A and B are shown apart, each in its own frame.
Chain A
Amino acid sequence: MNPKWRLWLGGTLLVAVIAAALYFPALRRQVYKAKDLTEKTAEQARRELLPVTPPSTGDPKIKVKMFWGSHGREGELTPVLVELPLSNDPVLRAKQVLNTLLAGPVDSESRTLPPDAALLAFYILPDGTAIADFSEELRTSIPSGIQSEQVAVESIVRTLEANVPPVLRLKILIHGQEVDTLAGHLDLTQTFRVSAKDESGLKLDNPSAPGSVLPAPIQKAVEKVRRATQR
C-alpha cells in the first residue's frame, strides 16, 4: 500500500470515529426515549383494558368531603366540601371520590397526589378490606419524604373514611403489585385502617394505627403473586 492510500484510509477512519463520537449522545437519547415510550405504552394499554367508571350523570349530587393539603401548613390536611354525583354502589362511589381526589383541588399547591397518577382498579372484599391499585406514577412522581408520602396516603384514607363507610381497611397496590414503600419511606406492605369500627360495627381502640396484617387468604394471594414475580 502506497503512502497516499495509507493517508486516505487513516483519514477516512478518523472521520468515521469523530462522526460516531458525535452521533453517540443523540443515539443514547433516542434509546432512552424509546424505552420511556415503551413503558408508557404498556401503562396506557393497561388503562385501556380496564373498565372505565361509568358516567354517573343519573346519580344524585351529594356534598362529599375531600381531604386535600392545607394551604400554608405543610403536612396537614383540610376537608373541602365538593358537590358530586355519587353512586350508591360503594365500589363505584370509591372510584368517583378517588378520581376526584387525583384530579386535585382548584389550588394546585394543596394537591396531595401527583397529577399524572391514575386509579387502575378498586374493589372491596367481603371483610371490608378495600384494594386500590394505582399507576406507577403514584410512586415515581410523588415528592419523596416521610411527610409527603404520609400526607398522600392519609388523604386517600380520610377521603374514603368520610365518603365510603363500608371500607374498613385499605391496601394500596402499585400497578397490580404489592410494593415495599410508596417512594422509599412509607410502608405499603400493610393495610391502612380506614374506619374506626371493625367488621361487627364495634369501635376500635386505636383507629389511627395501621391495620395489622392482611387477612390470611389475601396474604396468601399476595405471597403467591410475590413468588411468581420473583421467579
Chain B
Amino acid sequence: MGRRNGCRFDILLSVRSLPILFGSLLISGACLLALAQATPPGAQNTPAAAAVAATPGSAQQPSASPVFPRNGLNIVVLDPAHGGTDQGARGTEGITESDEVLQFAAATKKALEAQGFQVLSTREGNDNPSFDDRSARANAQRGAVFISLHIASTGLTGTARVYVEPEVPPSATISGLIPWDRAQVPFQGLSRKLGDLVQVELARRFKGSPDTLQTAPVRQLRTTAAPAIAVEISSVSVQNRGDLETMVPGVADAIARGVVAFRPSYVLPTIAVPGGSVQP
C-alpha cells in the first residue's frame, strides 16, 4: 500500500516538474545558441580546421596559435628553420643556420609589420618545434601565408632562391576535408604566385640568384594549408659572418615587397568534392 502511494507521489512529482524541465531546456538551448554566435566565424572554417579534422589522432595536433578572423591576406607566418639541438647547416667559421635565420626572421618581421601585416613566428628562441607544430601555426589562421627561412651550406655566396612544392594532382576526400599529409595541395597555385613575386624581388637585389622559383619536395611545406614558400640563402660557408649579415635587409625587404605584391591575388582556393565545392 505504502509502495503504491510512493509510486503515485513519484508520478505526481514528475508531472509537476515537467514545466520546470522544459524551462531549463529552453534556457540551456538559448545559452548554447548565444555561445555559437559569439564564436569567430573564421575559426570554424580555417584550412587547418579542415586539415586537422581529416587527420587521425588530430586531437594531438597543436593549436595554441591565436586566430585572427579577418578577410583577405593579413597574417604572415615566418618560420626560422631548425633550432634547439638541430643546428641545420654549419659553416667552417662556426656559423650555424639555426642562429642566422633568427636574424633574417627578425628583420623580415619588421619589414612586414611596416607594411601592415600581422607577423607570427614558429619560434622566437633556440627551440625546435616539429614540422607539424610549425605547420599548425599557419594552419590555425585564416588569411595567412607561410614563409620558411633557410641558409644553405652550398650555393653561390650572396644569392637566394625560393622553393615551392612540386605540383601534384589535388585529391579531396568525399567530405571535402584536406588530409594533413597533403595540406599544401589546394594552395599550390597560390604558393607558386607568391614564390614568383618574392623570387623576382630577390633576383633584383642579389646578383646570381635565379630569375624564377625552384621546385623541391620540402618537408615543411607539405603539411602547410596556406600559400607556402621556402627561401634559401647561400651560404653558411662564408669566410666572414658579416658577408651573410649584409644580406639581411635586402632579403627582408624583398620578402615584404613580394608579399605586398601578392596581396591582391590572395583568394582562398575551393576544393572540388562530389556534388559541389567546399572552401577551406
B and A form one assembly: yes
Chain B residues, Cβ within 8 Å of A184: 81-82, 86, 88
Q: Is A110 an interface residue (CB 8 A)?
A: no
CA A144 – CA B161 in complex, angstroms? 15
A75 contacts which chain B residues (CB < 8 A)? 154-155
Say which size band chain B's interface belongs to: 20 to 34
Q: Tell me how far the C-beta of B278 lies from the nearest C-beta in chain A, rounded to whole angstroms.
A: 21
Q: Is B32 an interface residue (CB 8 A)?
A: no
Interface of A is mostly: loop
Shortest distance from the beta carbon of A169 to any chain B beta carbon, whole Å: 13
A59 is an interface residue with CB less than 8 A from chain B = no
* A201–B150 alpha-carbon span in the complex (Å): 39
Measured in the bound complex, the distance between the Cα atoms of B216 and A186 in whole Å is 7
Name the one of A145, A189, A208 contacting B235, with C-beta atoms under 8 angstroms. Answer: A145
Interchain nearest-CB distance for A147 vs B (Å): 5
Residue-by-residue, is B130-156 near A (CB-CB < 8 Å gives 1, otherwise 0)?
A: 010000000000000000001111111
**A73 closest partner in B (C-beta):** B156
A195 CB within 8 Å of chain B: no
A212 within 8 A of B: yes
Quick one: CB contact mask for A183-196 with B, threshold 8 Å, 1 for yes?
Answer: 01111011000000
Contact call B166/A144, Cβ cutoff below 8 A:
no
Assess whether B150 is in contact with A145, with CB atoms less than 8 Å apart: yes
A190–B82 CA distance with the chains assembled, in angstroms: 21
**Residues on the B chain within 8 Å of A185, using CB:** 81, 150, 216, 218-220, 230
Q: Give, as a whole number of angstroms, the nearest-CB distance from B208 to chain A.
A: 10
- Closest Cβ of chain B to A68, distance in Å, is 14
B residues in contact with A143, CB < 8 Å: 89, 152-154
In the complex the two chains form, is B215's CB within 8 Å of A145's CB?
no
Hey, what's the 0/1 contact readout for B91-133 against A, CB within 8 Å counting as 1? 0000001000000000000000000000000000000000100
- The binding surface of chain B is classed by DSSP as mixed
Q: Are B219 and A187 in contact (CB under 8 A)?
A: yes
Residues from chain B with Cβ under 8 Å of A212 in the complex: 168-169
On chain A, the residues within 8 Å of B222 by CB distance are 187
Q: Is the CB of B219 within 8 A of A144?
A: no
Name the A residues within 8 Å of B81 (CB-CB). Answer: 184-185
Does the CB pair A148–B219 fall under 8 Å? no
A75 to B181, CA, bound (A): 27
Q: Min CB distance, B228 to chain A, in Å? A: 13
| B residues in contact with A210, CB < 8 Å | 166, 168, 217
Which residues of A sit under 8 angstroms from B232, Cβ to Cβ? 145-147
CA distance A75 to B234 in the complex (A): 12
B163 to chain A, nearest CB (A): 5
In the complex, what's the smallest C-beta–C-beta distance from A112 to chain B, in angstroms? 11
B211 on interface, CB distance cutoff 8 Å: no
**With A and B bound together, what is the CA distance between A210 and B155 in angstroms?**
23
* Closest CB pairs A-B (n = 8): A145-B152, A144-B89, A187-B219, A143-B153, A187-B217, A209-B166, A148-B154, A150-B216
Query: Interface of A with B (CB < 8 Å)?
Result: 74-75, 143-148, 150, 180-181, 184-187, 189-190, 206, 208-210, 212-213
A148-B154, A209-B167 known; 5 new pairs, CB 8 Å cut-off, are: A143-B152, A145-B150, A185-B216, A186-B219, A190-B217
What are 9 A-B pairs with beta-carbon distances under 8 A?
Answer: A143-B153, A144-B90, A145-B150, A147-B161, A147-B234, A184-B82, A184-B86, A187-B218, A210-B217
